[in-house]
Amino acid sequence: MLISLLLTSWLTFVELNCENLFDWRHDEGKNDYEYLPDATRKWDSHRYWTKLNSIAQTIISCGGEGEAWTLPDLVALAEVENDSVMNDLTHRSLLRNAGYEYVMTHSDDERGIDVALLYSPFTFRLISHHAIGVSPPEGRHATRDILYASGLITTGDTLHVMVVHAPSRVNGERSTRPYRLRVAERIITTIDSIRQTDSKANIIVAGDFNDYDSDSAIVRLSLHHLIHASSGAKGSHGARGTYKHRGQWGSLDHIFVSESLAKRHTECHIIDAPFLTEEDEKYGGLQPRRTYVGYRYHGGSSDHLPIVMKINE
């Protein structure tokens, strides 16, 4: 396994929103009460481990099929609660023999959810990482920090990665739009800083932006010398986006790359394997098989599907 990872000519990058990957214990100072055993959702250790292994299975499935299969090199995760969850995912789940390491944020998000980056130390040698804060507009709660990490890939080049989980649309798309634009501007400022040192820097920006392709924040990033690599990505079993809302497919999850990476052959697709989807009985077709439908436990992996990007090194 290690030999195949070192000899591969592809960098495989995955983005996945895990749909509230909480443990079943209370984190002091965080509003995680709905994910406790005695709460309405009745979130307990059995449900936690079922979900954790389902997320691990999802990541494994992103490596391809047959003899071409290999573990993804980098996995950007949104909606993970804490180090306890990430330690369990990397050391106690179905991924325990994969050799993954991780870095993550520890944001002031009131619910205590963060973003993380799984990486194979055989193909991404971590150089540095830190959190990038985003100041909330007046009257808004703190959002998730942006995770920045840099590392050396097998070609000897430095790769800069940012993992994002922008503010949701809970209070309406229009009223929350300025907050997501702040996230986009923070990303742009960071990229400008990187490019001052290396104008041809290799950069990946990925995550749940809570915006679709035509929304302001996504357009803003696309206009800043970033290539929207995941635009138009589809699944092989009928998924036309990573998320389905009221019968309509769309992608709230996105992967952007710098022009230097886009010059190499990049290919993005959505993983909609049968174990990740189910029949949409109301609107027809398929939909992601989510963990909860409202407050009713449904047992699925996530309400988002993963995006896989391969880059020819």
Q: For the residues of 28-59, what is the DSSP string, one character each?
A: TTS--GGGSTTSTT---HHHHHHHHHHHHHHH
Ramachandran quadrant class, 246 (left: phi over 0; alpha: psi -120 to 50; beta: rest)? left
Rounded to 5 degrees, φ, ψ at 298 are -115, -20
Tokens of 187: 């990303």
Please state, in angstroms and rounded to a whole number, the distance separating the CA atoms of residues 64 and 251: 21
Rounded to 5 degrees, φ, ψ at 229 are -65, -30
In 11-50, which positions are buried (b, 16+ CB within 10 angstroms) versus exposed (e)? bbbbbbbbbbbbbbeeeeebebeebbeeeebebeeebbee
- Residue pLDDT, tens place only, 208-218: 999 999 999 99
Please state, in angstroms and rounded to a whole number, the distance separating the CA atoms of residues 164 and 252: 11
Contact 51, 24 (CB under 8 A): no
Q: Say what the pLDDT of residue 192 is.
A: 97
The number of residues in the chain equals: 313
Which residues are CB-neighbours of 94 under 8 A, at least 6 positions away? 53, 56, 57, 60
Rounded to 5 degrees, φ, ψ at 164 are -125, 140
Contact 58, 14 (CB under 8 A): no
Which residues are CB-neighbours of 68 under 8 A, at least 6 positions away? none
Helices (H), the chain: 2-7, 45-61, 83-91, 173-197, 216-222, 259-262
Cβ count near 186 (within 10 Å): 18
Q: Say what the pLDDT of residue 88 is.
A: 98
Q: Say what the pLDDT of residue 83 is.
A: 97
Cα Rg of the chain (Å, integer): 18
Tokens of 259: 């022009």
Please state, in angstroms and rounded to a whole number, the distance separating the CA atoms of residues 174 and 14: 29
Residues with pLDDT less than 50, the chain: 1-9
Contact 105, 131 (CB under 8 A): yes
Instruction: Specify the pairing of strand 74-80 against strand 10-21.
Output: parallel
